[in-house]
Chains A and B, each alone.
Chain A
């Protein structure tokens, strides 16, 4: 399979000129993807050492989608993502030690241990939560977009979800709702071809689970190569501008692949070897590194980024490892806005 195997389709209604991509931005995109990749590889290692408790869902292989969007978003935009949301949360600016610490149940965790891997949130960075009930966050992102529209802030909400999510009712309710109210929300389907273990094609009425449904909501079908970070960035820039200008929601289907299983417990053996091999060929990271080389970007600049990211991940790991276990004095706080959990007087 070749690079650019999917058309570079943009919403034709948006007449915006594509955002120029310069070398600084390219290096930034590379660094962002690499941070996500290395952090999650480290999470996997920590898990193998039994330091990550509970479950975790890695997005290794899917980094170009979260990166392309995060790079195109305004700092006050809203991200809503799923349990497979470590990268989406990190790339909006959340602390890496906070993320690893949360996975490890440590006091330094982003939510001090109250949320866990599936609920990473950093509101001050616009990372409005990771949602673990399939489909729930599409209506919630729609509401955040409604709020932005009502307050006139020109903020946009970006909502990431998987192919499997297109078969739950909340997906359809949210799309219709966002369209009728012309809300500034971008729905991003990361089509990694599987729900948990079942291929999406076995259980879906159409070939492209999101794009083929767009017409039902009067939206343009947008199907892109989700492993091409620049294409994701360009697409994101277009649809975010459109959202800010009052053009309403967009639905993007980005084709991608997770390198590992669904969650920590899953070796992913249900996937044919040749399929896995073909997608490893299309790994967004080496692919982008190669492209950058061809574009004449200095090898030294790339190795410098690689060394810096490795050091960052090591440091975050040390911070998380050295952090004490979550503090049990917080078990009964913050149910209510007054900080408490009292249900009686």
Chain B
């Protein structure tokens, strides 16, 4: 084990897979010589050379399209889209082409590729560089959607995404890049589609993703210390496939569910979870399902405004207290 930052875990995960499989190649804007605008890919060009680690022009359609064409002809590309907001300029390639072509061709081709992107708020970048767009991807059949919250999961889930035979949208939360955690030095692969239970609890289950996970954990501590409320915390980790087994099991035990989502309110993943819970274990519930989300607004830039918009540990505590009391 070594302590790594979330950002260093990105290059550790990519390097692990590139060492293992010569068909893994990596492309994106400023990712090679410059090591990425978030410095998450430093050292890869030196180790793997310019045939495998490739700087591209500012051409998101070409980046994603090239990854698709390479994947359907034998390579395992990793493409970087610098900010997830930029998916809006290449969404055709993601949503119409990569996601659908396997199905439309009756399974004649596969798309073993990963698109990594810096997602989410907290960096005071304003409405076009801060969005949480994992729900965009979750809405499209044919895409797997992963969003790690810790350095160890960055390495392990990225490795699993590269090995997965299907397209994976890999959302790194940019305000987590500087956070640190223990990461296995040896080969590390975490299976996709498994939520992680971070904390057991009897009164309520809090399900969170990416940057909302540490906030949910902090809220759970406050609830225990200050209010004697016992909250289970689940890091959802993967939206597609979705580990409903783990989530339903815990919600069934606690009788209450609070989702914590960074995305704007409408059609967030928490709404899908709420509908599954309501449909399948309604009679086990002791209260309404509550969603804590960013309001349905574009994210503002100023620190005071952005902090007011994103779900905080305090908002989670308030929501849980209202539900449990």
Interface residues in chain A, defined as those with a beta carbon under 8 Å from any beta carbon in chain B? 78, 110-112, 114-115, 119, 121-124, 128-129, 131, 133, 135-148, 150-151, 157, 169-170, 173-174, 176-177, 180-181, 330, 333-339, 341-345
Contacts and interface: CB of A to CB of B under 8 A. Distances in A.
B190 to A, nearest CB: 15
Given A119-B104, A136-B97, A143 B25 contact: no
B240 A343 contact: yes
A335 B241 contact: no
24 contacts: A78-B73, A111-B108, A114-B103, A121-B109, A128-B72, A136-B93, A136-B96, A139-B61, A139-B65, A139-B93, A142-B69, A143-B66, A143-B68, A146-B69, A150-B25, A150-B70, A169-B61, A170-B61, A173-B61, A173-B62, A330-B106, A336-B142, A343-B240, A345-B193
A129 B108 CA distance: 10
B59 A143 contact: no
Interface string B239-252: 01111110000000
Contacts of A169: 61
A311 to B, nearest CB: 28
A285 B29 CA distance: 48
Given A333-B107, A335-B103, A142 B66 contact: yes
Given A78-B73, A150-B75, A335-B142, A177 B66 contact: yes
A165 B152 CA distance: 45
Given A136-B92, A335-B102, A123 B108 contact: yes
Interface string B13-27: 000000000000100
Contacts of A115: 104-106
Contact of A157 (B62, B69, B103): B69
A139 B73 CA distance: 14
A145 B59 contact: no
Given A121-B105, A335-B142, A144 B73 contact: yes
A181 B141 CA distance: 32
B137 to A, nearest CB: 12
B194 to A, nearest CB: 9
A95 to B, nearest CB: 13
A157 B66 CA distance: 12
Contacts of A129: 101, 105, 109
Interface centre among B25, B70, B93 (most CB of A within 10 A): B70
Main secondary structure of the interface of B (DSSP, over half): mixed
A335 B108 CA distance: 11
Nearest to B106: A111
B165 interface: yes
B228 interface: no
A150 B75 CA distance: 9
Interface centre among A121, A122, A123, A143 (most CB of B within 10 A): A143
Interface centre among B92, B108, B141 (most CB of A within 10 A): B108
Nearest to A140: B69
A123 B73 CA distance: 10
A292 B146 CA distance: 60
A341 B62 contact: no
Contacts of B104: 111, 114-115, 119, 121
A335 B142 CA distance: 6
Given A143-B67, A174-B65, A177-B59, A112 B72 contact: no
Contacts of B243: 344-345
Contacts of B240: 343
B64 interface: yes
B70 A144 contact: yes
B236 to A, nearest CB: 12
Contacts of B59: 139, 173, 176-177
Given A123-B105, A330-B106, A344 B242 contact: yes
A119 B110 CA distance: 16
Nearest to B105: A121
Interface in B131-155: 141-142
Interface centre among A78, A121, A339, A343 (most CB of B within 10 A): A343
Contacts of A151: 74-75
Contacts of B165: 336-338
A2 B264 CA distance: 63
Contact of A142 (B62, B109, B166, B242): B62
Interface string B154-186: 000000000001100000000000000000000
Nearest to A113: B106
Contact of A111 (B54, B61, B105, B244): B105
A133 B92 contact: yes
